[in-house]
Amino acid sequence: MTDIQYPISGSCQCGNVRYQLLSPPTKVMACHCKECQKLSTSAFSLTALVATESVIFEGELVQWERLAESGNKNYAKFCPTCGNRIYHFNPDQPDVIKLKAANLTDTRILQPDAHIWVSQKQDWYEIPAGVPQFDKQPV
């Protein structure tokens, strides 16, 4: 999408956490795992994989942690006021964050490059033809 202008701003629901995305994500994933369904309160969660240095955050963030089924560390940063999830990260991979980018002002970048954990997908949701899909987490 050549008409998208960076930086793109984003914020939590209450506005206490704000950020600027300085460059395009390397990949956008739609995750259908049960944990992401809980997180998004929807059929899947959208995540934009971005370089850590391509995002500037303002405001207080708190952290929550869990171990994923894959064994990866899944840490989350969110707003302590409204609870809106801002991003996930694995401390063992400090150069990449998983931005929960649905709170960007321009969401045109959120076209999934792949759908993951389709083994837990809601039966009623149809993945668009031609988009790669993986039963679990791709290697």
Residue 134 burial (CB count, 10 A): 16
Phi, psi dihedrals of residue 22, rounded to the nearest 5°? -85, -25
Tell whether the model's pLDDT for residue 96 goes beyond 80.
yes
Report CA Rg, the chain: 15
**Residue 126 is which amino acid?**
E
Tokens of 114: 């792949």
Query: CA nearest 89: which of 130, 47, 29, 121?
Result: 47
Q: Write down the pTM of the prediction.
A: 0.84
Tokens of 18: 């704000």
pLDDT tens readout for residues 25-58 = 999 999 898 888 888 888 888 999 999 999 999 9
Those residues with Cβ within 8 angstroms of residue 118's Cβ, 6 or more apart along the chain or in another chain: 32, 127, 133, 134, 135
Tell whether the model's pLDDT for residue 72 goes beyond 80.
no
Tokens of 109: 């970048």
Strands 85-89 and 8-11: unpaired
Confidence band for 2, pLDDT divided at 50, 70 and 90: low
Check residue 138 and give its pLDDT: 82
Tokens of 26: 């390397």
Domains of the chain: 8-25+48-114 (2.170.150.70)
Please state, rounded to an integer, the average pLDDT across all residues of the chain: 91
